Structure 1
Amino acid sequence: MELTDAIGENDDSEGAADLFRVIGRQVRLLRERADLTQRELGERLGYSEDLVRSLERGRRTPQPEFLDAADDTLGAGGLLRAATEDVARAKARARVKHPAWFRDYARLEADAVEVHEYGSHVVPGLLQTEAHARALFAMRKPLLDDATIEVRVAARLIRQELLTRWPAPILTCIIEESVLRRPIGGAEVHTDQLEKLLELGQLRSLELQVMPTERDTHAGMGGPFILLAPKGRPQVGYLEVQNVSRLVTDPDEVRILAARYGSIRAQALSPSDSLAAIKELLGAA
Structure 2
Amino acid sequence: MDETTPPELFNPLQRFGQDIKRVRLGRKLTQKHLGTATGYTDAYICMVESGKQKASEKFAKGCDVAFGTNGLFEGLLRRIDEGEHPSWFVPYLKLERKASKILTYETNLVAGIVQTEDYARTVFRVSNPRASAEGIEDKVAARLRRREVFERDSPPLLWVILHEACLRTVIGGAEVMAGQLDYLRTVAASPHVELQVVPFSAGIPATSTMPFIVLRFPNSPTVLYTETRVGARMHDSEQTVDAALDDYDRLRARALSPDGSLTLIKTLLKEYRA
Class of the TM-score when normalised by the shorter of the 2 chains: 0.7 to 0.9
Worse-superposed segment, 158-167 or 257-266: 158-167
Aligned AA (2:177): H
* Cα root mean square deviation, aligned: 2.7
1:258 equivalent to 2:218? Answer no
For residue 269 of structure 1, what is the aligned residue in structure 2? 256
1:213 aligns with 2:178: no
Match of 1:89 in 2: 54
Whole-angstrom CA distance in 1 between matches of 2:180 and 2:237: 35
Q: Confirm or deny that 1:129 pairs with 2:90.
A: no
Matches within 5 A, 1:88-237: 88-90=53-55, 94-96=79-81, 97=83, 98-140=85-127, 143-237=130-224
Any stretches of 5+ residues in structure 1 without a counterpart?
1-15, 21-45, 53-65
Using the aligned pairs only, state the percent identity.
34
Distance 1:79 1:185, change over 3 A: same
Match for residue 4 of structure 1? none
Unaligned runs of 5+ in 2: 1-15, 56-75
3-state SS in 2 of match to 1:276? helix
Deviation, structure 1 residue 144: 2.8
Instruction: After superposition, give the CA deviation of every residue in 1:55-97 in whole Å (9 maximum; x if it has no partner).
Output: xxxxxxxxxxx334666xx7x9x95235435784136664241
Larger Rg: 1
How far did residue 143 of structure 1 move?
Answer: 3.4
Q: Distance in 1 between matches of 2:200 and 2:161?
A: 13
> 1:242-264, CA deviations, whole angstroms, 9 ceiling, x for partnerless residues?
14100011111001001100110
TM-score normalised to structure 2 length: 0.73
C-alpha distance after superposition, 1:191-212 (max 9, x if no partner): 1001000010100000000110
CA 1:225 to 1:137, structure 2 compared with 1: closer, same or farther past 3 Å?
Answer: same
Query: 2-side partners of 1:209 and 1:275: how far apart?
Result: 8
Q: Stretches of 4+ moved more than 6 A in 1? A: none
Q: Is the 8 A contact 2:100 2:155 kept in 1?
A: yes
Separation (CA, whole Å) in 2 of partners of 1:94 and 1:265: 37
Letter in 2 for 1:81: D
Query: How does the TM-score come out when normalised to structure 1?
Result: 0.71
Alpha-carbon distance in structure 2 between the residues aligned to 1:217 and 1:83:
52
Matched, 1:284 2:249: no
Which string of whole-angstrom CA distances, capped at 9 and with x for unpartnered residues, describes residues 134-169 of structure 1? 000000166333232122111101111123432121
**Compared CA separation, residues 198 and 242, structure 1 to 2 (3 A):** same
**Helix, strand or coil: the match of 1:153?**
helix
One-letter amino acid of the counterpart of residue 95, structure 1: I
Taking the aligned partners of 1:186 and 1:80, their CA distance within structure 2 comes to: 43
Q: 1:142 to 1:185 in 2, by over 3 A?
A: closer
Residues 213, 92 of structure 1: alpha-carbon distance in 2 compared, 3 angstrom cutoff: farther
